Structure 1
Amino acid sequence: MKVSMRSRVGWNVIRDGLTLPERARLYRATPGCFTADVTRAERILAHWGDLMGRDLETGVDDRLEDLNLQAVDLPKIVGDIDPSAASYLPDAIWMEVCGEVLSWEGPNDEHGIPTATFLSGAGEAKIPFEHALVAWVEVATERLRIRRPEIDDELPVEVLRSEQRGLMEGLAIFARDSNVDDFSRARVGAYDGNDFAMGMLMAEPPCDVYRRVIRGMTGSAMADWMGRYPALARLLAMRVESWARAMGELLARVDMDRDLIARVFNQGDDPGMLTEARLGRGDSHNGGRSVAMLRFADGLRLVYKPRSLSIDQSSRSLFAVMNDGLDPSFRIELPNCVDRGRYGWSEFIEPGPCADQREVETFHRRMGVLLGMVHLLQGNDFHLENVIAHGDMPVPIDLETISVPSAIIRTESDDFEDPAAEVIASSVLGTLLLPAAMSIGNQRDLRQFGALRVEMPGALQIRKIQKLIQVNTDFQRWVKVPDDTRTRPNSEPWIDGEDLIDAAEYQDETIEGYRHFHEASRNRKPAILEALAVLEDAWVRILNRATNVYFRLLLESCDSSLMRSGIDRWIHLQRLFLSISPSETEESARSLSSVANAEVDALFDGDIAYFTTRGGGKKYFTIESVSGDQIELPGSLLGKSARDCVIDQIDRMTPEDMELQISLQGDAYRSTFISLSSLMHGVADGTAPGEDDPDTEIDASEAELRRLLTSSLGSLADSRLMSGDLASWIGLDMDSVREVVTPTALSCDLYSGRGGLAVLFEKAYRVLGDHRWLELARSALEIELAGYRRHGDDSPLLQCPPDGVGVRAGAIAGLWTIGRHEGMGDCRDLARRLATKISERVVRRDETYDLISGSSGMILLLLGLDEEETIPGVLEVVGRLADHLVAHQVDDSGPSWNAFKGERSVCGIGHGRSGSGLALLAAGAKLDRVDLRRLGLAVLHGEHSLRCDSPEDAWPDFRGVRRGSTETPPSGSTAWCNGTEGIALARAAALRIVDDPILRDDLEFALVGANQMPTTKRFHLCCGRAGRVETLGSLKRLLPEIDLIDPVLAARAMVRAIDDPGSNFGLHGPGLFQGRAGAIWAGLSLLDSEDSDLLLLRV
C-alpha cells in the first residue's frame, strides 16, 4: 500500500469504518489500545438482538460464538481505539482509494463546485448530487488508466464518458440517503411553503443551498465529510476500485479474444473498436463484475459475461436432446456462446416482433415448452429480464440457473415435512416464467416479474411512482406521480402497430406446449437421463435468496444512520442470519452460517452475493474478487446436487404430475390478476350472479344448508395433501398488508392458511356433529405440533410476531379450539405456550400495530381466550402489547398508527383506528388501566372526527394516501375490514365496555349502511357477503335491542356460494377470509346463532 495515501485518511475515518470482526482481530493484536464503551456495547447488543428476532441467548450469543467473541470483551471492541493501533492494521484498498480521493485536485466552477466532462449536460437526466461524486469518478478513471494505459486507443471518448456516468449513477444510489439528509438539514429555514409552490413553476430554481452542501462534501471539506460518514466513504472506495478492475479486465479480455470473437460471432471479420460497453448496469457480483452489452464499430453486438459459461454450453447439449423428441414447430433455440473459464462471450439476441397472430400463438406454445424444459431441469430465475421475445421464439438469455441444486439438508428424522411445500418447491412456479406479482418494499406498489405477463385494463394498470423532480436545485424533492406508461418488457411478444399482448389470452397455447413437452419427455426418459452427464462438471449458480432480497437489504444498509459506523452497517446486514432457525441440525446451521457470512461480506462491499457449484457437486463456491477464481466456501454444504434434483424431477413426471403442474399454471395467472386488479376486495368475473337473480327461488332451508355445507367441507378435505397424519393444502396465500396473492403451500395463518381451516373444521364438528371434521382440524396443524414436539421453545413458531389473523394467531386460534375437546390436551397446551411466550423482543417486531397484522389483533384474541378459560400469564402479555401500541402512536387527526409506512393512518377495524381503539379499551378494562381506556376512547373519537356527512359516504379510505398529501381520499366503503360494517361492529363492542355518546352516535350512523342486504358480488368473509352475515350475527349478540334485517335474507344471499368449486363468487382459494372456507363458515353460523364472533377475533 502507498503509506502516503493511507496517511492522508484521518484515523477517525479508518477506525469508524471498520466492521466488528475487523475490530475484534485488531483487539486481539493490541488490546491495550482499546477503551471500553459500555453504553455503546449495550446499545449494539439490544439492536442486534432485535434484528435477530430471537431471545438473546439463542440469537446474538450464537453469532458472538461464531465470531469467537466473548460478550464481556464487547465494550472494549466497540469502544475508542488509540491511533497507535494503526500499525497493527493490515493494508486495505479502501483506505488507499479514500486517500487518493482526498488528494484529488480538479477544476471547480465559479461557485467552487467540481466540474468534469462526465457531468450531466443539456438533454441528459441529472444524477442526484453528482457534483459530490466527481473526485470519486476521477480517481476510478485514473486507476483504470494505470491498468490500461492504452485506453484512449481502445475506447472512444464518448464510450468512456458513458461508463463514467454509469459508475456515478451507482455511487449516487449508495450515497443518496446521506446526501438527502445533509441537504434537508441545510435547507431548513431557507425557504417557506410559498417559495416551494413558486419553485414548481420556475424553469431554473435557485441552487444556493445545493451548492453550499456540495462544497461541504468536496475539496478541503471532504475529510470532515468522510469523518461523518466513514462507512459510506469505505463503500464508495470499494466501488471505485471494483469498477476500475472490472472495466480493465473487460478491455483486456476483448483485446485477448479479438480473433476468437471475429471467428465465432462475426464470420471471421474483425469487428473494430468498441463503441458501447454498458458495464455495471445490471447486478454487480464478485468484486464489481457484471454483464456488459458490447457494440463494435462494424455493428456487431455481443454479451460479455464474467463467469464460466460451461452451463450455457451444457444447456445447448441438453436442449438438443430434449428438442429431438418434439415436433419441429415446438423446438427451442439457445444463444451461441463461448466459454473461457472465468468468463465467456454470448450471442446478443435482439427482441423482434411477431409477423401476425399465428406467430403469437406459436410463441406461447414454445413458451409452454420452455416452461417444461426449465421445470424438468429444476431451473429458476427465468423472469422477464432473462427471456427475449425474438419473433415467435422465446429465447432464454441467462442460463446460469437453468439447473440449480437444493440447499435444504435433509436428515432421517425429518418426518414432518409439509407435503404441499414439497410439491411447490419443485413445481413450475419456481421457474419464474409464469405470471407473478411482487410487492416493492413495505408498500402495496405491485410489479409483475414473470416472463409471461397479464395485461390489465388501462385504468387498473395505472400506479403511482416516486420521482425526484428539480434535481440538484434547492427545490429538489420526491413526489408521487401517476405512472401510466405501459412499457413492454423484452420477454413479451408483440405485433407492430397493435396493442400489448395479454399472456392470459394465450394460456391454452402455453398449456398445449407444456403438455406436448411433458408427454414427449416421459417417453424419452432414458435418453434425457443419459444426457445429464454434461451437467456433472458444469458450473451452475446457487440462488439462496432472490436478488431483490439482497438488493433491498443492501439499500437498507445505506441508510444515513448506518453510514456513520462500519459496525452499525455490518450489524444491520446480520439480518441474513434470521434464516438460521434454532431448530436446524448442527451440520445445517454450520453451513448456513458460512453462507450468511459470505453474503454479508459481499453486501458490505456493495455486491449482490453470488455462489456457484459443479452440477454434480454439493459444495458452495464463491468467486474471488481479484482473480475471478472459484474458491470453495469452508463449512458449506448443499442438500442435493443440481444433477440429482433433475433426476428426482424426471422420476416425478407422470400424467398426474402433469395435470397438477397445469393446475398450478392456472393458479399463477389467477393470483396475478387478483393482485394487480385489487380483487382481494372484489370480483371481475362476468359469470358471477347478478343482483337481479331472484333470491326467493333459492332453497335456504336448514336441510339444504346442511347438505351444501357437508358437500363443500368434503371438497375442502379432498383437496388436501397428506403425509402420515399431516394435512396441508396448496392455495392462494393472501398477504393482507401488501395485498399480494401467491399460489403456495398454505402456512398456519388464520387469514388464508391452515389455522383458519382448523378453526373452520372444529366449528363444523360442533355444528354438524361429525367427528371426522375434528380429526381433520387437528391434522391441519399437525405440522406445528410435530415441530414443537421436536424443538420445544426453539420452534420457529414461537418467534413469530404478534398479529390478529397471521401465523401466530392462526396457530393459537386453531390449537385452542381443537383443545376444547377430549383427547386434544396437547393442542391446548401449545396454544397456551404460544399465547404467553411473547417476549418484549418479539413484540417489537410488530410494525403494523393493527387488528389484522399486529398487536391490536393479538390483544383481542388473547382476551377472548382468557375469558373462556383463565390463562396464567396472558394478561402480562396483553399489557406488554398495549404498551407497544402506546409507545408507537402518532398524531394524525387524533392518536393512531401507521400500519402502512409513509401513508395516512386509516379508518376501519382491520388495519385502522377502530381495531386498535377497541383493543386498547378492552385491555384497559381487563387490566384496570385508566390510561389505556382513555387512549382507546381518544382513538375512536379521532376516527369520529373524520366521519363524512352522510352514511352513504361513511368514512374516508386513506389507504394509499401519503402523509402530507392534499389529495381527497375515496369514501363510502361498507366492508368489514375498512368500512362501516367493521366500524359498526367495533362501536357495538366498545359500548359494552363504556357508554359514550359519540360511540353510540357512530353506531347509529354506521348501521344505516351495515343493516341492509349487500349488493356486492363478493361473497368472501373479509369484505363480502359472508362478512356481512357474520357482522349481523355479532351485532345482534352484542346489542339484542337493535333492529336488524331478517337473517333468512342473509342466508339466501350466501347459499349459492357455499358449494361453488370455482371462483364465480369472488372466493379465491380454500382460505378462511378470502376463500371458500369463509362462505362455509358463514353458512355454519346461520345454523348456530350463538356461535363465536370471528370478526372480533373471538373463536
Structure 2
Amino acid sequence: MESLSKTRRRTTRTPQAAAWIGEGVTSHWVLGHALEERLPSLRMRGTPEAVDEARARRRLERWRKQEPLTRDSLWAERLRASGLTEAELHTLLGEPAEALHARMGAPPPWQRVIERAYASAISPPFSWPEPTPPGAALLGLVEPLVHEAHARLVSALDTCLRDLPAAPFEPEHTARMLLAPLPRMLMPLLGRTLAVELRIAQLEGRLQGDTPEARFQDFAQHLRRRDVALDILARYPVLARQTLEYVTAWEATGVELMQRLARDAAALWRRFHGGVPPGPLVEAQGGLSDPHRGGRTVFLLRFASGLRLVYKPRPLTAEAAFQQLLAWLNARGLTPPLRTVEVLSSDGYGWMEYVEAAPCQSAEEVRRFHLRQGALVALLYALDVTDIHYENLIAVGEHPVLVDLETLFHPHTLAASLRDVEKQPGAVLNGTVLKSGLLPQPAWRAKDGTEVDFSALGAGEGQLTPLGYLVAAAHGTDQLHFERRRMEIPGAANRPRMAGQDISVAEQADALAQGFSTLYRLLAARRDALLAPGGPLAAFEHAPVRVLFRGTASYDALLHESMHPHAMGDALDRQRFFDHLWLAVKERPYLAALIPLEQEELQRGDIPRFTALPGSKDLWSGAGRHLPDFFDDSGLERARRRLAGLSPDDHERQLALLRSALDRVRLAASPGGRPRYPFREPPEPAHPDALLTAARRVGERLVALSFSGAGHSHWLSLEVSDTKEWRLVQVGVDFYQGLSGIALVLAQLGALTGEARFTQAARGALRHLTWRLEAAPMQVRGVGILNGWGGILYALTHLGALWRERALFETAESFVGAMAPRVEQDEHLDLGSGCAGALLGLLTLAVQHPSERASRLARVCGEKLLQTATPQSHGMGWLSPSTGGQALCGLAHGGAGIALALLRLASATGESRFHTTALEALAYERGRFSPEADDWPDLRADAGMHGGGGPAFMCGWCNGAPGIGLARISGLPLLDDHRVREEIAAAVRATLAGGLGYNHGLCHGDLGNVLFLLEAARALHDDTLLRRTYQLAGGMLQGIESHGHLHGLPGSIETPGLMVGLAGIAHGLLRLAAPERVADVLSVAPPVS
C-alpha cells in the first residue's frame, strides 16, 4: 500500500499497454482475503520463508499504536477475538502477496467471477438509468459486472413471471427500475480510489485532451478497457471484492423482492387495494434505508392505479403487534384516537401501507396532533423504545404516524463495570421519556458548538451534519478530488404544518403534556389487562426487534472512511481501520464480544444489525450468529417493570422532563429577559405554619422529580453550556444548582418537619455527591461558594453539624487537597466562583472541625485576595476575566462578598491587614453608590439587558442592594458604624421599592430579597419591618398559589437547584418559618447551634 503514490513498473506488450497496465499484479488478488481467511492455511503449512520482517514490524507497530490498542490487555483481547497470536499476525503482515498466493493455492473465488465477467467486452456501452450521480462515467470500470448481474436479474424475473403469471411486473422494465440505486451504492466505494488513479495518470502525462473535461473523458474511456479495469481491480483487491459483493447483493435482493411480490400479490391486493389488482408496477425506489443482511434495503413500490406499498426486508411482527396495541387502546377510550397503519407481515419480511404527509387545516387540528403526539411519547416510554428519529414520524394532518418501529422493547446489556448504571452521569436519560427520540434534544454537537437535533419532534430544515462528509469536487474534470464538508440535512415530513409553515412544538407544550398524561393514566389503569397472558403485550414476545449498540451514523461513517484507497489494497489494512470499534470498549466492555460480528458485516458493506426477541435474553447478529443470555433481562421484562412502576411520582417526573425538553426549544428560539408577575401584598402576615406547609409541598415536588437507585438520588435540569446552548443534563455537584445545595435543603426540611422521606432523599443526594467527587474530583474546576469547592465544603459541614456526623467533617477535609491547586489557578476571586467563596467554605469547616489544612488554605485565599486587589478611584476592587476589566459591586461577584470574606478571615486570624483591605472594598462600593437612585449600580458588561441607557440597577441577592445589605448585616459583629447602618437602610429602601414581583428564587428573586429584609429586621430589632417582611412573604404564598413556583431561569423554567430553583424556594420558606432553626445560606452563615 505504501507504493500507491509511486510510478509503477509497466509491461511491454504494446506502447499503449505499457502506459496503463502494471506488472506483476496477478498475485495481488489474494490480498482481498481477511485475517480469518488467511490463518488456517498458515497454521497448516507453517511460517513461510519469504516474510518481509521490516515491513511486518512497521505494520504491526502501526496497528499497536492505533488507539485504544496501545493498552496491552485490550490488544490481547483483540487478538483473541480473531483467534490468532501476535506472532501469527506479524507473519501475515509481512507476507508478500506472491507467498500468500502460493500458500492459499486456488485463486480467490471472487477473482474467478470477475475475470469471467471481463472476458468479453460490452458493445454498445452499458446504459445506466437516469439520473446518474455526478462522475458516473467512472462506473465504466465495473460495467461488465453490472451487465452480467443485470442480465441474470432479467432472466430470473422472466422465470418468476412464467411460474406466477399474475406477477404485476414486466421483467425488462422492472430490472431497469431496480438498477437506479446501484450507482449511488457504487460511487462512494469507487470514487476516491479512481480519483487517485486519475491524479497519477495526469501527473504521468497519460491523459489525452486539451481541456480538463476532455482528459477526464479519456480516463473514463480507458476504464472501459478490460485489461486496464482488471489491472486496477487486481491492485485494489479489497475494492474488487467489495464491488462484486455489492453487485451480487443488488441482484439477489432484487430477485428476492420481485419473487415475494409475485407470491404475495393476491394477499396484498386484498389487504391494501380492496381485492382489485392495481395494474403493473411502474416505479420501484430502492435504497430507502441502510443496507443490512446482504445489502437488503427498504423499497417503495408504485403501481399503475396509484397504489403505493412499502416493502421492508425484515420481519414486521412487531409493527403488526404495535398496530393492534393502538387499536386496543383506542377501543378503551383513548381520545383522540391514534391512527393505525395497515401491515402485512410475512416470514422474514413484510409490507406496509404508504403514509403520505399532509398539512393541518386548523388550529384545532394542530392541537389534536400534539395531543396524539403526547400519547405516543407515553406509549413509547412504557415500551422502552429508542431511536425514533425524524425519518420515523410522518405528520398526516392531525395524525402523527410512526412508520418504523424496529427498536421496541429495547433490552439492556450485561455490563459488569456499569452495573450501577443509575449512578452514571447521563445514563439516567435512558430510563426516561427522552430515550425514545421523539422529544426535541440534541443528538450531536459540532466543533463550532452548534447542535444537531435528529428527534421526531425537533428536527427541522436548515441543519448541517455535525461531521464533515467526503464530497467529490471538480466533477467531470481531471482535477477530481474529495473534500470534507458539513452537508445540509434534508428536511422530512415529521413536523406538522399549517398554511405553509412548520408548527413549533414548544408552542404546543400544554397539548403535548395533556396527551402524555391521558395515555399514561390509561396505561396505568389498564396495566393488568396489558400484561395478562394473551393480552396486547404477549403478541410481541416472539417478534424480532432491533438492538442498537452504536448509532447508525457511527457505523456509516466508519464504513465510508474504510473505502479510502489505502485500505483497498490489502484487507488487513481495512481490518485495522475497523479496529477503531475498540475505542468504546473501555466504557462498555460488553462490546468486545460484538466487534468480530460488527466487522464481519462491515466487511460485506452492510450496516451491522443486531436483533433480539422481547421475550428472550439472547442476541443475534445480522449474519445469524447467536449469543445466548447476552442481556441482564429481556425487553419484555423491562417493559413489564416499567408498566408496574407507573405511578403519580413517575408521571410527574416524566412530565417535567417532557416540559424541560420543550422549554429548551423555547429558550433557543427566544431566551427572554427577567419576567415579572403581579405581586400583591396582603394586609396580614404569613403564619409560620403556612410557610412550613408551603415548604413541605416544594420538598414533595423536589423528591418526586428525583431519580433514585442503589441508594443514590439525583436530578435533571436545563443548564447553559459553554457555547451558550441550553442542555438537559444531570445536575452537577455545585452549591448553586447541584447536589450539594439540594442535599442541604432536603436535610433542613427533614429536620424541621421530622419526615424521613426528606432525610432519605438528602442522604441519597449526599451519597451520589460523594461518589461523584471521589470518582472524579477534578470535575470541580471552581473554588467559590456557588460554583466550586467552597460551596461543597460548606454543605458537607452543615450536613455534618445537622446530623451530628463527624465523618462528614472528615469527608469535607479530605477534599481540601484537591481544592488547593484550584485556589492557585483561580482568577475569579469573588464569593460566587473564586477565592472569597473558598475562604468562607474553609472557615466554616475549620470552626466546626478544627483543621490545620483548611485554616492554612483559607489564609492562602486571603493572601491571594490581598495580592490581587486593584486600586480604584475610591478604595480597592478586584478584576477577573469575567468582569470585563471592571471591578464590581455586590455580594456574589463584587466587593461586598470579598469584604465579608476578609472580615471573617481577619477575625479568625487576628491579622488586621485583612480587615484593612476589607475596608478598602467597602470604600469602593461607597464610591459607586448613586444618591439619585439610592442604590448601587450593576457594573457587569451585560447588565444593560436589565435596563435602558445609563447605569443599570438590579435588585437581587447576586447583584444589587439586597446582597450588599445582607453582606453588611453579616459583618456587623466585625464592623458596625453609622455608615454601615446607613447602607443597610438604603438597601432596605431599594429592596422594598423594586425587589418584588420577579420570581420565587434566591439568587435574583423575591425570596432572596425577602430573606434580606428578614435579616435586616432581626439585626436592627425593627418590629415594623419584621411584620412587613411577613406580609411580603404572604404575598409570595399567594403568588405561588396563583402562578405556581416561578424559578429563576429564563421563562421561570422549573429547575431543582438551590439558587434559582425548587431547593432554594424550599430553603427560603423554611428560613421564614423557623429562622432560629434554619441557617441562612445566603450570608454563608455557620450551622445553627
Partner of 1:163: 178
Q: Compute the displacement of 1:469 (Å).
A: 6.3
Which of 1039, 1056, 1059 matches 2:1004?
Answer: 1056
Matched residue SS, 1:59:
helix
Q: Do 1:183 and 1:209's aligned partners in 2 also have CA atoms closer than 8 Å?
A: no
- CA apart distance, 1:139: 1.6
1:406 partner SS: coil
In the alignment, which residue of structure 2 is the partner of 1:99? 115
**TM-fit CA distance, 1:399:** 2.5
Deviation at 1:736, TM superposition (A): 5.0
**Equivalent residue, structure 1, for 2:216:** 210
Alignment partners' CA distance in 2, 1:811 and 1:68: 50
Aligned 8 A contact 1:26 1:89 in 2: no
- Provide the residue aligned with 2:599 in structure 1: 600
Letter in 2 for 1:609: P
Match of 1:498 among 481, 497, 500: 500
Q: Which amino acid aligns with 2:47?
A: G
**Is the CA contact 1:326–1:517 (under 8 Å) kept in the aligned structure 2?**
no
- Separation in structure 2 between the aligned mates of residue 815 and residue 612 of structure 1, nearest angstrom: 46
3-state SS, counterpart of residue 511 of structure 2:
helix
The aligned residue for residue 439 of structure 2 is: 434
Counterpart secondary structure, 1:541: strand
Letter aligned with residue 573 of structure 1: F
**CA displacement at 1:301 relative to structure 2:** 1.1
Q: Distance in 2 between matches of 1:226 and 1:187?
A: 19
- Residue from 350, 355, 361 that aligns with 1:349: 355
Structure 1 residues 948-967: aligned runs within 5 Å: none
Question: Are 2:101 and 1:117 aligned?
Answer: no
8 A contact 2:52–2:96 mirrored in 1: no
Kindly indicate whether the alpha-carbon contact (under 8 Å) linking 2:1057 and 2:1064 is maintained by their aligned counterparts in 1. Answer: yes
2:395 maps to 1:389: yes
Deviation at 1:288, TM superposition (A): 0.3
Cα contact 1:381–1:401 (8 A) shared by 2:
yes
| Letter aligned with residue 539 of structure 2 | V
Looking at structure 1, the residues matched to 598 and 437 of structure 2 have their Cα atoms a distance apart, in angstroms, of 23
3-state SS in 1 of match to 2:390: coil
* TM-fit CA distance, 1:129: 2.7
> CA 1:775 to 1:671, structure 2 compared with 1: closer, same or farther past 3 Å?
same
Structure 1 segment 478-517 matched on structure 2, within 5 A:
489-495=492-498, 497-517=499-519
Relative distance call for 1:336 and 1:776 in structure 2 (3 A) is: closer
Amino acid at match of 1:599: E
Is the CA contact (8 Å cut-off) linking 2:513 and 2:659 kept in structure 1?
A: no
Distance 2:317 2:540 in 1: 9
Residues 11, 182 of structure 1: CA spacing in aligned structure 2 closer, same or farther, 3 A cutoff? Answer: closer
Q: What SS class does the counterpart of residue 429 from structure 2 fall into?
A: helix
1:271 aligns with 2:278: yes
Q: TM-score, length-normalised on structure 2?
A: 0.63
Instruction: Deviation per CA, 1:106-138: give whole Å up to 9, x if none.
Output: 358xxxxxx542165xxx4x5233222234355
Report SS of the residue matched to 1:358: helix
Distance 1:391 1:241, change over 3 A: same
Amino acid at match of 1:334: T
Per the alignment, residue 915 of structure 2 pairs with none
Counterpart CA distance in 2 for 1:430 and 1:217 is 49
Secondary structure in structure 1 of the residue aligned to 2:271: helix
Structure 2 Cα separation of the partners of residues 654 and 714 of structure 1? 15
Residue 370 of structure 1, CA deviation: 1.8
* Residues 1:1015 and 2:1022 are matched in the alignment: no
Asked if structure 2 preserves the Cα contact closer than 8 Å seen for 1:387 and 1:395, the reply is yes
Secondary structure of 1:430 counterpart: coil
Contact 1:100/1:139, CA 8 A, preserved across alignment: no
Alignment counterpart, residue 172 of structure 1, candidates 170, 181, 187: 187
1:147-189 per-residue CA deviation (whole Å, 9 max, x = no partner) reads: 5405478447665444323111122123344445555677789
1:17 shift after superposition: 2.6
1:318 counterpart SS class? helix
The whole-number CA distance in structure 2 between the counterparts of 1:53 and 1:735 is: 29
Query: 1:143 aligned to 2:128?
Result: no
Unaligned 5+ segments in structure 1 are 1-7, 109-114, 191-203, 625-630, 678-682, 691-710, 789-796, 837-850, 853-859, 869-973, 983-1009, 1030-1045, 1089-1099
Q: 1:148 to 1:474 in 2, by over 3 A?
A: closer
The aligned counterpart of 1:241 is: 248
* Structure 1 Cα separation of the partners of residues 505 and 298 of structure 2: 29
User: Does the residue aligned with 1:33 lie in a helix, a strand or coil?
Assistant: coil
* AA of the residue aligned to 1:540: V
Contact 1:293–1:301 (8 Å) recurs in 2: yes
The letter for the 2-side match of 1:351 is: A
- Which of 579, 593, 600 is the equivalent residue of 2:584? 579
| 242 and 252 in structure 1: CA distance in 2 versus 1, 3 angstrom threshold | same
Distance 1:34 1:804, change over 3 A: farther
AA at the equivalent of 2:942: P
Matched letter for residue 545 of structure 1: R
**Does residue 28 of the first structure (1) align with residue 30 of the second (2)?**
no
For the residue of structure 2 that corresponds to 1:16, the secondary structure is helix
Where 1:437 maps in the other structure, the secondary structure is coil
- Measure the CA separation in 2 of the matches of 1:1071 and 1:826: 22
Q: Note if contact 2:423-2:768 (Cα within 8 Å) is conserved in structure 1.
A: no
Asked if 2 retains the 8 angstrom alpha-carbon contact of 1:730 and 1:743, the reply is: yes
Q: CA RMSD in A?
A: 5.9
Distance 1:400 1:463, change over 3 A: closer
Alpha-carbon distance, 1:285 to partner: 0.4
1:669-684 equivalences in 2 (<5 Å)? 669-672=662-665, 684=671
Q: In the alignment, is residue 16 of structure 1 matched against residue 31 of structure 2?
A: yes
Instruction: Kindly indicate whether residue 549 of structure 2 is the aligned counterpart of residue 568 of structure 1.
Output: no
- CA 1:159/1:16 → structure 2, altered by over 3 Å: closer, same or farther? same
Residue identity opposite 1:382 in structure 2: I
2:646 is the alignment partner of 1:662: no
* Cα pair 2:610 2:621 within 8 Å, conserved: yes
Matched, 1:471 2:458: no
Partner of 1:1096: none
Offset of residue 610 of structure 1: 1.1
Aligned residues, how many?
824
Distance 1:306 1:38, change over 3 A: same
Amino acid at match of 1:172: M
CA distance in 2, matches of 1:499, 1:243: 40
Aligned equivalents of 1:69, 1:1071: Cα separation in 2:
54
Correspondences of 1:794-809 after superposition (within 5 Å): none
Instruction: Give me the whole-angstrom Cα distance separating, in 2, the residues matched to 1:657 and 1:717.
Output: 11
**Selected match of 1:401 from 398, 407, 410:** 407
Q: Is the 8 A contact 2:439 2:661 kept in 1?
A: yes
Corresponding residue to 2:372 among 355, 366, 369:
366
Residues in 2 aligned to 1:744 and 1:1056: alpha-carbon distance in whole angstroms: 23
- Checking the alignment, whether the CA contact within 8 Å between 1:1068 and 1:1075 is kept in structure 2 is yes
- Alignment partners' CA distance in 2, 1:363 and 1:81: 65
SS at match of 1:344: strand
Residues 816/521 of structure 1: CA separation in 2 closer, same or farther (3 Å cut): closer
Sort the Cα spacing of 1:227 and 1:402 in 2 relative to 1 into closer, same or farther, 3 A.
same
The structural deviation recorded for 1:832 is 9.2
In 2, Cα distance between equivalents of 1:349 and 1:516 = 26
Matches of 1:1078 and 1:223 in 2, distance apart?
A: 74
Alpha-carbon distance in 2 for matches of 1:814, 1:287: 58
Q: Distance in 2 between matches of 1:187 and 1:446?
A: 41
Which has the larger Rg? 2
Using structure 1 for the length normalisation, give the TM-score: 0.62
In the TM superposition, residue 1064 of structure 1 has moved relative to its aligned partner by 1.6
8 Å CA contact 1:366, 1:394 repeated in 2: yes
Residue from 235, 239, 246 that aligns with 1:232: 239
Cα distance in 1, alignment partners of residues 193 and 883 from structure 2: 37
Which amino acid is the alignment partner of residue 496 of structure 2? P
1:617 maps to what in 2?
Answer: 616
